[in-house]
Amino acid sequence: MYTTRMLSAAMLFLTGPAFAADLLPDLVMPVSHGVSRADRPTVDRCNEAIAQWAAPYNPVSVETSLAEPVRAGAGGARIATLAVKIDYLRQGGIEPRSATIACTVARNGEVSVAVVKQG
């Protein structure tokens, strides 16, 4: 399970606040399909986490779609099961990857992602 975190204080101290953002790769924000207005906030938080996780691996496109309706979890969490397709730029061309993930957005906004099924 992966948890999205903001820049650590150590990174800011090592590089200086003016240059910390230069170390982050550009985010390719996912395009989502089949998301209702009610589920949009949960899916948007999940998409941010997916974009941050994929960024170091040089994605050129990211698409997500709900595999099932967003459901309530323990403690007020919202759980979205997403089909995710990411195309990565590699030396020999584009490498397509896909997975089904369970993305949990806790009441406090923390996002965790677990792979349900690869490919």
| Per-residue confidence (pLDDT) for residue 33, from 0 to 100 | 73
| Per-residue confidence (pLDDT) for residue 34, from 0 to 100 | 72
| Per-residue confidence (pLDDT) for residue 15, from 0 to 100 | 38
| Per-residue confidence (pLDDT) for residue 32, from 0 to 100 | 76
How confident is the model over 55-90, as pLDDT tens digits? 999 999 999 999 999 999 999 999 999 999 999 999
Q: Which residue has the higher pLDDT, 27 or 116?
A: 116
How confident is the model over 5-42, as pLDDT tens digits? 333 333 333 334 444 444 445 677 777 777 888 889 99
Q: How far is CA 6 from the centre of its chain?
A: 13
Please give the model's pTM, rounded to 2 decimal places.
Answer: 0.73
Q: Which long-range contacts (CB under 8 A, 24 or more apart) does 81-86 make?
A: 81/116, 82/43, 82/46, 82/50, 84/30, 84/50, 85/61, 86/50, 86/54, 86/59, 86/61, 86/62
Domain ranges of the chain: 26-118
Give the DSSP letter of residue 117.
Answer: E
| Per-residue confidence (pLDDT) for residue 18, from 0 to 100 | 44
| Per-residue confidence (pLDDT) for residue 26, from 0 to 100 | 67
* The two structure tokens encoding residue 58: 């040089």
| Per-residue confidence (pLDDT) for residue 98, from 0 to 100 | 95
| Per-residue confidence (pLDDT) for residue 101, from 0 to 100 | 94
